[in-house]
Amino acid sequence: MKKWLFTILFGSALVLGACGGEDEADDNGATNDAGNTDGDETVAAAEELFEANCAACHGQDLSGLGGPNLQKVGSEYSADEIKDIILNGKGGMPAQDNRVNETEAQEIADWLAEKK
């Protein structure tokens, strides 16, 4: 009985430990003295959006899986063109307007446009 109880408690601790440990970031973002959003947080937010919505097809490292390689997509498309592709689709890529809103699409597009 003690062994079973210990196993349950230990397993619960592992599960809870895996779920925690990282504080949630403030959704408002850090601002500098001029009131601008900190660039590092904007990049981190764009990377998180990409990982959550795009990486399954384009790879965590942008090298492409089912979708094309995006490592140098900024040399081919502007941020506005990338945003349009995200929201409306192009070729084999379906529109993602049901997964990301316009603001999120713009964040991802701005981040990807820097990849040259």
**What is the identity of the amino acid at 102?**
E
| 2 token code pair | 């003690």
Mean pLDDT value across residues 78-85: 97
- Our count of domains for the chain comes to 1
Q: Does 1 fall in a domain?
A: no
User: In which element (H, E) is residue 73 found?
Assistant: none
Judged against a pLDDT cut of 60, whether residue 89 lies above it is answered with yes
Domain extent at residue 112: 40-116
Judged against a pLDDT cut of 80, whether residue 33 lies above it is answered with no
- Give the mean pLDDT of the chain: 81
Mean pLDDT value across residues 103-112: 96
Q: Does 8 fall in a domain?
A: no
Q: What integer pLDDT is reported at residue 12 of this predicted model?
A: 59
Spell out where 1-116 has E strands. none
Q: What is the CATH number of the domain that holds 55?
A: 1.10.760.10
Residue-wise pLDDT for 94-105, tens only, equals: 999 999 999 999
Q: Which residue has the higher pLDDT, 13 or 32?
A: 13
Please state, as a whole number, how many other Cβ atoms lie within 10 Å of the Cβ of residue 108.
Answer: 24
The residues that bridge with 31 in the sheet, in sequence order, are 37
